[in-house]
Structure 1
Amino acid sequence: MAQPISDQIAIAGVHSAPYTRSRGMTPLAMVTEACVGALRDAGLGPGDVDGLSGSQLVHSNELQSALGIPGITWWCNQRIPVYHQLFEAMYAVWSGAATTVLVYHVTYRAPGVSRSAAADPYRRRFGLGTNVPNKNPDAAVNAVGYATWAGRYLHDFGLDRTTFGMVAVNGRSNALLNDHAAMRRPLTMDDYLAAPMLREPLTMLDMDLPVDGADAFVVTTTERARDLPRRPVTIHAASMGQARVNNEEQLVDLDHTGQQIAAAGMWSRSDATLRDVDVFLPYDGFSIIEARWFEVIGYCGPGEAHDFMKHHWNTERGRVEIDGRVLVNPHGGSLADGGTQGSGHFREAVLQLRGEASNGRQVPGAATALVTSGGFFFNSAAAILRADEG
């Protein structure tokens, strides 16, 4: 059932500092570029902003000075993924703590994630980055944890790695139509199966791509957004989810994660159903996460993601097309667009619902987008966004 806040808060502007393997810019510079573009997209200026909501890599006080915003009445700097920043902004505008909030997110490769990052003296000196390797080699976190549960998933349901391969190939096929995607070379299942194994059963193609870049969104009331240049994209329903046991090695099983809580919370706050969804944007920081989102969100049952994707697979285009019309991560997702920690998924949702996705990846008549952000443990969320009808 829809809540009082449903569709009352809107995203009125969006912009990216394009994600690449190396931008040659600092995090603050990339965030500033994205925010300036988002404000211009919304037809606003720094003086119209009275709230900032961003990740901890660039603090709000630094960004306020960089943008020349005269004064703000609300700000927050939450941990990743980006839905934290977006949902906090939504509630701030709804409560009246702010009227117009700039939401921003930046990723910056740490020295330990690539040769080019390791060769950058600035990154080495300050240890900057959002993809920091585990300091404790015995901790079952990040890639170690997801690889462990990916292996359990394949074992329990009698599946092989082609399940995850379809996730990777789908993302790459869609990324071919996205000028901003970091990886735009075609990928076949044979390519996937031959990729270097990093942590059994996950290869380098199962893990999101470390990139530099930033996204920014302008969040305000739907009523105000209707007076601005772009078609508003409303937040119809949103929920976070965190299970009682929420660390990798202690997780009960894959049926008791934050995903189930987020999905149930979102559907309980929504008038929409899966039949209404025109574009599906499941988080894919690791391929196993996207496979599970198909199941948890209700497209199929536990262990059935492989058969579901195969049934809806367009062989000619090398991608999933649910019922021949609903695209899955048409921007390429984290595995191809780049490891944006979810901001790319929300960015693509906004572009799709405004009818502005480029290069033939636009879903005709897209009016409802389903975005599932985050992983299993302490960072799950789900949201339905809508193209405003007002």
Structure 2
Amino acid sequence: MKARYPIQDQVAIVGVGTTEYSRDSGKSELGLVAEASRAAIRDAGLTAKDIDGIAGSWVRAELVQGALGIPAVNYYLNTILPPFQGQVIAGMNAVFAGLCETVLVYHSGYRTAVASRSAAADPFRVPRRSRLRPLSPMPDTINGTVCYATWADRYLHEYGATREDLGLIAINNRSNAVHNDHAVQRDPLTMEGYLAGRMIREPLNLFDMDYPVDGSDALVITTAERARDLTDTPVLLHVAVDGQTSHAVEEDMPDLTQTGLKAAADNLWARTDLSLDDVDVYMPYDGFSIIQLKWFESIGYCGVGEAPAFLKKHWNADENRIEINGRVLVNPHGGSLSEGASQGAGHIREAVRQLRGQGSGLQVEGAKTALVTPGGFFYNAGALLLRTES
């Protein structure tokens, strides 16, 4: 019996906007958010006066409202921590509950220093007075590279996987990013090149970690009924959920089977009659390559420890990319590893564009259902199914 989920297909995405992703934008973070938000509002065929709800991250809602000239809002939610499904779920729930009719949701990445721009050539050199922000709310715990390198090492040890298996993730995303003008990393990547990458913390090297950028993404969300009057291609929020276990702190997770990824996946499939067979394009989060590897298992494409074999089975050697059953592309935009670190915002934005037939490079022909799984192992996993009505 499926869980009760009355919001299914009742809310839709009608506008999408993004800025250029760059190593050094020379713009303020508010300026980037305003640019992406204006683009999303225009894309929906609306004006600032039509927006009556705001939910975003990092940049506060009242600043965005003022920058955009939105006269008044009935709903706002400030500084939701990424990944981006949190903002989308908040906006979706607000619209469905009648708190507002049309909500703007946004996210920004902002890596440049306040004063010095000298770190722009090195994605892992954090300059003095940096604006980079830790996602973990608990600074006394391990997080980031330390955390994921530790669990990646555990995965390789426990399941007999190799660094080459992680390399397939990086190579797939780079092979797809080659076709995406929006991506900051577009040079082809071979296995030899991957293995030669500078080691950051065993077993993860430079190519296993997302590429910090300046940039912003925004969406406009409204009721499905109103969406049909605004666009010929509304993208319905079929299911959008979070997932978290009782072991939601990095060093407390007991093993690689009890993760937030698995909790989010179980939550998703409990609320839909769709299955992986219905999915046309898959967008797994890749803040670290081990996260994307583990998402294949958690979402149900294969069993625990079987992701390396799954990748090899579905690897297109001619194109150097993953093609599940010869048809489902994985992160066709290049993901966070190559397009740029967007904490899931780029994945959701690209899923919308794929369903509209406007992919940022590699377009999946006839795509009608997109699966997006943002977030990492612990306290921030989520899963979304987006679909078109046609």
TM-score, L = length of structure 1:
0.94
Residue number among 78, 89, 92 corresponding to 1:90 in the alignment: 92
Instruction: Give structure 1 stretches of 5+ with no counterpart.
Output: none
Superposed, 1:122-161 pairs within 5 Å as: 127-130=130-133, 139-161=141-163
Identity fraction in percent = 52
Classify the secondary structure of the residue corresponding to 2:220: strand
- How far apart are residue 125 of structure 1 and its match? 8.6
Separation (CA, whole Å) in 1 of partners of 2:243 and 2:258: 11
- How far apart are residue 126 of structure 1 and its match? 6.4
Alpha-carbon displacement from aligned partner over 1:302-332 (angstroms, at most 9, x marks no partner): 1111111111111111000001100000000
Separation (CA, whole Å) in 1 of partners of 2:170 and 2:327: 20
Equivalent position amino acid for 1:383 in 2: L
Q: Is the 8 A contact 2:82 2:135 kept in 1?
A: no
Classify the secondary structure of the residue corresponding to 2:352: helix
Superposed, 1:300-311 pairs within 5 Å as: 300-311=302-313
Divergent runs of 4+, >2 A: 110-119, 123-136
Describe the shift of the 1:127–1:243 C-alpha distance in structure 2 as closer, same or farther (beyond 3 A). same
Classify the secondary structure of the residue corresponding to 1:209: coil
Separation (CA, whole Å) in 2 of partners of 1:60 and 1:153: 40
Separation (CA, whole Å) in 2 of partners of 1:285 and 1:102: 25
Alpha-carbon displacement from aligned partner over 1:81-105 (angstroms, at most 9, x marks no partner): 1111110000000000110000100
Describe the shift of the 1:135–1:50 C-alpha distance in structure 2 as closer, same or farther (beyond 3 A). closer
Partner of 1:73: 74
Classify the secondary structure of the residue corresponding to 1:184: coil
- How far apart are residue 130 of structure 1 and its match? 3.5
Partner of 1:336: 338
Separation (CA, whole Å) in 1 of partners of 2:141 and 2:5: 40
Equivalent position amino acid for 2:294 in 1: R
Equivalent position amino acid for 1:274 in 2: L
Partner of 2:350: 348
- How far apart are residue 128 of structure 1 and its match? 2.4
Partner of 1:386: 387
Q: Is the 8 A contact 1:53 1:103 kept in 2?
A: yes
Describe the shift of the 1:125–1:171 C-alpha distance in structure 2 as closer, same or farther (beyond 3 A). closer
Classify the secondary structure of the residue corresponding to 1:227: helix
Equivalent position amino acid for 2:8 in 1: S
Superposed, 1:1-390 pairs within 5 Å as: 1=2, 3-55=5-57, 57-77=58-78, 78-109=80-111, 111=113, 115-117=118-120, 127-130=130-133, 139-359=141-361, 361-389=362-390
Separation (CA, whole Å) in 1 of partners of 2:193 and 2:212: 20
Instruction: Give structure 2 stretches of 5+ with no counterpart.
Output: none
Alpha-carbon displacement from aligned partner over 1:50-96 (angstroms, at most 9, x marks no partner): 000100x2100000000000000101121111111110000000000
- How far apart are residue 116 of structure 1 and its match? 3.0
Q: Is the 8 A contact 1:208 1:284 kept in 2?
A: yes
- How far apart are residue 127 of structure 1 and its match? 4.4
Q: Is the 8 A contact 1:12 1:230 kept in 2?
A: no
Equivalent position amino acid for 1:12 in 2: V
Q: Is the 8 A contact 1:110 1:118 kept in 2?
A: no
Separation (CA, whole Å) in 2 of partners of 1:111 and 1:67: 25
Separation (CA, whole Å) in 2 of partners of 1:129 and 1:194: 27
Separation (CA, whole Å) in 2 of partners of 1:384 and 1:340: 19
Separation (CA, whole Å) in 2 of partners of 1:135 and 1:70: 37
Q: Is the 8 A contact 1:282 1:329 kept in 2?
A: yes
Describe the shift of the 1:295–1:380 C-alpha distance in structure 2 as closer, same or farther (beyond 3 A). same
Separation (CA, whole Å) in 1 of partners of 2:203 and 2:106: 34
- How far apart are residue 23 of structure 1 and its match? 1.2
- How far apart are residue 239 of structure 1 and its match? 1.5
Describe the shift of the 1:131–1:139 C-alpha distance in structure 2 as closer, same or farther (beyond 3 A). closer
Classify the secondary structure of the residue corresponding to 1:128: coil
Which segment is superposed worse, 107-116 or 248-257? Answer: 107-116
- How far apart are residue 357 of structure 1 and its match? 1.1
Describe the shift of the 1:228–1:284 C-alpha distance in structure 2 as closer, same or farther (beyond 3 A). same
Separation (CA, whole Å) in 2 of partners of 1:19 and 1:246: 31
